[in-house]
Each structure stands twice: as C-alpha cells, then as structure tokens.
Amino acid sequence: MKPMDQVLETAEKIRSMEVRGAGRIATAAAASLRDFSMTLEVKSLDEFNAELENAANLLLKTRPTAVSLSNAIRMVRKYKAEDVDGARQAVVLNANNFIENSQKAVEKIGQIGSRRIRDGDTVLTHCNSQAAISVISAAHSSGKKIKVIATESRPRFQGITTIGMLEKLGIETELIVDSAARSVMNEVDLVVVGADVITANGTLVNKIGTAQIALCAREARTSFMVAAETYKFSPKTILGELVTIEEREPMEVLPDISKYRHVKVRNPAFDVTPHQYIDLICTEAGAISPEMSYLIIRERLGWDMDEEV
Ligand code: RI2
C-alpha cells in the first residue's frame, strides 16, 4: 500500500465513524502520521514536510469539531530537524509519546474521577466515552457497588457500545432512550460524560443530547462531571475562535428521506453545555473547575498567544 493510501484509509474510517470517540480518533491520526512518515520516500526535508502537511490536512478534515485531532496532529508535527532522517525519527517519537500519554491519561482520569463516586451511587453516562468509562470502571474495581444508567445516544447508538463495555466489566447497567433522561434523573447521583472539546472558558462541546442532560441534572440538583484528557481543550478558543459543530448526513437519522418533499432532516453531532452547568472537569492533570480551563490550555498544551492560528 502506498503511504498516502494508508492515510486515506484511516481518514475514511474516522469520517465514517468506524473509528470513533475523540480520544481514539486522535491516537488513530497520530499512528497514521507515524506510519506515513516511516514509509515515505522523499528526496529532501522540504518534500518530507510538505507531504506530511498534506497527510495531516486529509486527517484534519474528517471530523471538524474534534480538537483532539488537531491537538494530536500539532503535537506529532512539532519538530525541528536538519534532515529527512531526523524528521522521520522525531515524528515517530512524537506520535508514540502521544499515544502512550493518551492511554496513561485515561487511566489517571479514572483514578481521580472515581473518587467522586460513592459506594451505592447511580451514575448516568451519555454516548460512549473512554474517559467516562475509565472513571466508572475504576470506581467499580475499587469495590464500590455502583449502578450505571446509559443513554442510547441516537442516531449512532454509541450507548450500545457503552452497555457492551459495562457488561464485560460486570457492572449493573440500565439502558434508556435519550428522552428518558429527566424521568430517571432523580435516581441519579452523578452524571459523567466525555468531551469532544472544552473551550477556554470551560464550555463543553460533546455528543448531541449532552446539554439537555446537563440542564435536567441542574434542575434535579444532580452533579455533572466531565472526564477529559487535556488535549480535548481547544487552544484556538483563547483567540476567540468558535467551535464548528459537525452536521452529519441526514440518513443517519432517517434512512429513507426520499418520500418526504417538505422535510429536511438535521443531524448536528454535538451540542454546547455552558460552564455554569458543569461541577467538575476531571483531567489527567487533576480535577478542575471549568473556569480553570484557560490555565490548562496555557500550561498543559503549551499554547503561546503568538502561535500561528
Ligand atoms: P472519549 C465521542 O464523539 C462522544 O461525544 C464522546 O463523549 C467523546 O467522543 C469523547 O470520547 P463521537 O466520535 O475520547 O462518538 O472519551 O462523535 O472516548
């Protein structure tokens, strides 16, 4: 397989959501750039850099909301090299470090976040988040008896992946339709969700339906926690940039639209939860209030205000 074909194949898997979840798509993109750089045949460093940029752009276009993708790609491409071999080695090292750190971050988030779950608690989660499941699984492994309520997460039903994972872990789980969130909220002690993006002021962008859950959690006085690796924070939001919300194909919602002449199906993949509705963001760097997001971006992502936008 030609080096660029491998990148195109990974990009298609991410676009079609065969590979999904903000963390998984970031590590898949890092691995793809690593493998691309290892097999790339070029005559000069300039050519290597240009080819790597083309590959990076192909991956970046796949899921427009996920900042995990652009952060991963930025970290992999952060190198200064004298020649092609030096650049190749740096890309491989950066990608492997990113993948390893990402796995460690998910574990650490589990350890930290699970302290917020008490024995006997009922936890509600939405969609399928590695980071949120790490929190739930760490609480369960530490011997706490917990119950999980998982939403289906229309239209792609990632909740079915979640209940499959919880089943394997032996955790008592109930599956609900998304619109049952308010009906069960009075039985819930803590909501734990993942993140696709967290902005500089602590606003959360996550799977469609999250904002409604946060709203009813607040009304029911139920705590709402976000589990997110620090590379889910968006540096560009410091510079005032707004997060693009991905709108996916209508057929994910209604496979046969052809018989409707006056109906348009809308399929936004994510929604926006204001920071006031979030009690805590649990990262590998610690549990923080949403208002501390700016510091995470400056300190953990090493974002410099003069960096190119
Ligand atoms: P982890 C997913 O997006 C969900 O919105 C989930 O909350 C988020 O990524 C984070 O997932 P999608 O790819 O990185 O299903 O915690 O659209 O696994």
Q: DSSP letter string over 26-70?
A: HHHHHHHHHHHHHH---SSHHHHHHHHHHHHHHHHTS-SS-HHHH
> What domains does the chain contain, in order, with CATH numbers?
3-106 (1.20.120.420), 109-299 (3.40.50.10470)
Ligand 1 centre to CA of 195 (Å) is 6
In 3D space, the residue among 159, 280, 172 whose CA is nearest the CA of residue 222 turns out to be 280
Ligand 1 pocket residues where CB is under 6 Å: 20-24, 127, 129-131, 158, 193-196, 206-207, 269
Q: Given the CA of residue 106, which atom of ligand 1 is nearest to it?
A: 16
Residue 309: per-residue pLDDT: 43
Can you tell me the distance from the alpha carbon of 243 to that of 237, in angstroms, rounded to the nearest whole number? 8
Closest Cα to atom 9 of ligand 1: 21
Ligand 1 centre to CA of 130 (Å) is 8
Structure tokens at 207: 């799977």
Can you tell me the distance from the alpha carbon of 175 to that of 163, in angstroms, rounded to the nearest whole number? 7
| 3-class secondary structure, 95 | helix
Catalytic site includes residue 306: no
Ligand 1 centre to CA of 100 (Å) is 19
Residue 123: per-residue pLDDT: 98
**pLDDT tens digits for range 59-92:** 999 999 999 999 999 999 999 999 999 999 999 9
Classify residue 127 as left (phi > 0), alpha (psi -120 to 50) or beta: left
The residues of the chain scoring below 50 in pLDDT are 309
Residue 306: per-residue pLDDT: 64
Q: Is the peptide bond before 155 cis (omega within 30 degrees of 0)?
A: yes
Catalytic site includes residue 85: no
Ligand 1 centre to CA of 47 (Å) is 34
Give me the helix-helix angle, 158-169 and 130-141, nearest 10°: 20
Residue 307: per-residue pLDDT: 65
Residue 301: per-residue pLDDT: 87
Q: Of residues 35, 178, 196, 279, which has the active-site annotation?
A: 196
Residue 1: per-residue pLDDT: 83
| pTM for the model | 0.95
Residue 304: per-residue pLDDT: 67
Residue 113: per-residue pLDDT: 98
Closest Cα to atom 15 of ligand 1: 21
Closest Cα to atom 7 of ligand 1: 194
